[in-house]
């Protein structure tokens, strides 16, 4: 493999891994060997957490040239060239017939299907082996395409992805994917969708109210509730308000919801057939007791309060990341005692795709009226005296 001539298309997360591995293996290290990597993208700050060949001082530089340089420092004998060309029909004057004829192997490290299809077509035409790989969240796939021996990339499609039932994700998670899905959903809802919805309402309250009235469904109800909570119940004006919000969120997520769930379905609960309700894969949960001495608990409040402050445009004090001072601030938060509610509907049907919600009757009008008053009070605040 020292004499191999290899093309890597893409120098992102996968491309960095391939470069590091090939450099450590001594591939393309003879005078006849050559490794070419091409990518038309530049390094951004968001790349640094997974594209480990790059550093913060590389931000704004071409990915391929930086990656090639770092790979060369791993193995000085590596014969490598970094190009800044997108693999597409427009660059076939660069990757011409002579270039393709001279290759031994092609490695895809791409992030979109269109480019994969194009590279697959070129490899088929020139009869070149192709190593195809891809990642999506915690998932990954790899496929070796060998001329006249295996099927090509385009010959098959991935089966439709099975999504975990919503009741499993929210109330009965039993693997890390369920937990990640839940956390991502909550993050997007609290820190992206809700602020965006609030901004839409504040930009044009009357138009927003009309659209909600015409919608009249469970989704509209959920959006209205989120806006009201953000502007009224959960409104934050100081950083201490943000700390309170984050502390109560911890209690809501990891204590109140668990206590309500186990109140509704005790450990000895049985199904309609008499079987134990809490049987595999369901696991009986235990509520967490918040402690400022637990680093993970304090980090949750720290991250939540800072993100909430960013969303509301509230200045973040210098002591926000000081564990001792933050613990003192958290200790001042009053956390109400848990009171179990009877008759709470918790969905357990795995075939249900969404949590049931009561039909919208007068509720939208009442919510919209509340929102209108919020705007009035926001524009014409009452005298504190």
What percent of the residues of the chain are helix, what percent strand, and what percent coil, each to the nearest 5?
50, 10, 40
Task: Compute the distance between CA of residue 310 and CA of residue 85 in angstroms, rounded to an integer.
Answer: 38
**Look-up: residue for tokens 């590279």?**
119
Among residues 16, 29, 123, 167, the one annotated as catalytic is 167
Alpha-helix runs per DSSP H in 29-84:
63-74
Task: Compute the distance between CA of residue 335 and CA of residue 44 in angstroms, rounded to an integer.
Answer: 41
**Tell me, what DSSP letter sits at residue 336?**
P
CA quadruple 320, 323, 328, 329: dihedral positive or negative? positive
**Tell me, what DSSP letter sits at residue 41?**
-
Q: Which of 241, 212, 250, 230 is nearest to 365 (CA)?
A: 212
Q: Which of 69, 63, 65 is nearest to 48 (CA)?
A: 63
Determine the Cα angle at 316 with ends 322 and 324, to 5°.
15
Task: Compute the distance between CA of residue 380 and CA of residue 339 in angstroms, rounded to an integer.
Answer: 37
Task: Compute the distance between CA of residue 333 and CA of residue 355 in angstroms, rounded to an integer.
Answer: 31
For this structure, is 167 an active site residue? yes
Task: Compute the distance between CA of residue 142 and CA of residue 135 in angstroms, rounded to an integer.
Answer: 9
Alpha-helix runs per DSSP H in the chain:
13-25, 63-74, 97-101, 113-126, 166-171, 176-188, 194-203, 205-215, 218-228, 239-251, 257-264, 295-312, 323-331, 363-379
Find out whether 102 and 126 touch, Cβ atoms under 8 Å: no
Q: Could you list the active site residues?
A: 167
């Amino acid at each position: 493999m020292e004499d191999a001539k290899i093309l890597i298309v893409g120098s992102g997360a996968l491309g960095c891994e391939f470069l590091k591995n090939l450099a450590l293996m001594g591939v393309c290290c003879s005078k006849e060997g050559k490794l070419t990597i091409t990518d038309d993208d530049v390094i951004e700050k968001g790349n640094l957490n997974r594209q480990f060949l790059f550093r913060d001082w590389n931000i704004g530089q071409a990915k391929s040239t930086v990656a090639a340089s770092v790979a060369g420092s791993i193995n000085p004998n590596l014969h490598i060239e970094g190009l800044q060309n997108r693999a597409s029909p427009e660059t076939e004057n660069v990757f011409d017939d002579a270039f393709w004829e001279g290759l031994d192997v092609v490695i895809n490290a791409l992030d979109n299907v269109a480019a994969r299809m194009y590279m697959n077509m070129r490899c088929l035409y020139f009869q070149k082996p192709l190593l195809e790989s891809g990642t999506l969240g915690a998932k990954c796939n790899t496929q070796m395409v060998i001329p006249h021996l295996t099927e090509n990339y385009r010959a098959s499609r991935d089966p439709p992805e099975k999504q975990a039932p919503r009741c499993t994700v929210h109330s009965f998670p039993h693997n890390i994917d369920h937990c990640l899905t839940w956390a991502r959903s909550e993050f997007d809802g609290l820190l992206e969708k809700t602020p965006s919805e609030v901004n839409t309402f504040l930009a044009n309250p009357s138009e927003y109210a009309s659209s909600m009235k015409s919608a009249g469904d469970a989704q509209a109800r959920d959006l209205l509730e989120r806006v009201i909570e953000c502007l009224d119940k959960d409104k934050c004006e100081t950083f201490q308000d943000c700390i309170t919000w984050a502390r109560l969120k911890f209690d809501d997520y990891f204590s109140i919801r668990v206590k309500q769930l186990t109140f509704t379905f005790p450990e000895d609960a049985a199904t309609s057939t008499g079987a134990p309700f809490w049987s595999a894969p369901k696991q009986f949960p235990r509520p967490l007791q918040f402690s400022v001495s637990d680093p993970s608990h304090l980090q949750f409040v720290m991250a939540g309060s800072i993100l909430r402050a960013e969303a509301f445009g509230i200045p973040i004090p210098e002591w926000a990341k000081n564990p001792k001072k933050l613990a003192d601030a958290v200790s001042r938060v009053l956390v109400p005692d848990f009171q179990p509610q009877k008759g709470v509907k918790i969905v357990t049907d795995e075939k249900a795709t969404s949590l049931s919600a009561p039909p919208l009757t007068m509720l939208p009008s009442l919510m919209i009226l509340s929102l209108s008053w919020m705007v009035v009070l926001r524009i014409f605040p009452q005298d504190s005296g």
